[in-house]
Amino acid sequence: MGKVTDSLLSGAVGKVGNLVLYKQKGKTFIKQKATRSADYKPSKLQLYSNNAFVEVQQFLLPIESILAMGFERFTSGGKRGIHLAMSWALKHAVENEDGIPRLYPKKIKVCDGDLDLSPGMNLVKEEERKYSIYWDVGEVGRARHSDICWVLIYNPLSKKFRLIDEGVYRKRGFLAFTLDPNLDLVGGYVYVAFYRLKKNKARYFSSSVCLGSLE
């Protein structure tokens, strides 16, 4: 790596042949582009890790805005919500099946925090495209009656989702919702959490739980 002193290049950034010019703290630097040997072959572990990364990334990218909200309390040092969600998923939601990474959507976490979930959470289909989520009412651990239920319905196949954040309090014991035709039921999953709104309007979440698929 070298510092550029030539005034003709001091404002340039990008690639020039096998050289890369970039700016850092107002100064322009130049370095040689890293290259791999023509006979380089990634190991089986590297291939597995790369494939697992792609699998998780493709699943989570469509809900990046939701993850930014659900993990906001823990983002720092340039890490965003999607980074934290991917890290969790790679460790807990992907299994090695004969060298092929398999992602289990029910193990995905879409928000995180230290509030308690309510016991007895259950997803019930009431009518066509009409569902209810039920839970036991009680202030167990860090749970409070004033906590708000937070629901994400996400279909990774169509990459569409719906967030339900309508101020239904924990003390109510249930939340009912109807899905419009734009959201496919087949392949859709329901994730639930609770959050508490602090005085500075920051949200303190529980960890999310997947209640299963819609169909």
Please give the pLDDT value at position 17. 55
pTM: 0.80
Structural domains of the chain, with CATH: 2-32 (no CATH), 44-213 (2.60.40.10)
DSSP collapsed to 3 states, the chain: CEECCCCCCCCCCEEECCEEEEEECCEEEEEECCCCCCCCCCCHHHHHHHHHHHHHHHHHHHHHHHHHHHCHHHCCCCCCHHHHHHHHHHHHCEEEECCEEEECHHHCCCCCCCECCCCCCEEEEEECCEEEEECCCCCCCCCCCCCEEEEEEEECCCCEEEEECCCCEHHHCEEEEECCCCCCCCCCEEEEEEEEECCCCCEEEECCEEEEECC
Please give the pLDDT value at position 156. 97
pLDDT, tens only, 7-20: 444 455 555 556 76
Q: Which residues of the chain have pLDDT under 50?
A: 1-2, 4, 6-10
pLDDT, tens only, 21-44: 666 666 766 666 666 666 778 888
Please give the pLDDT value at position 137. 94
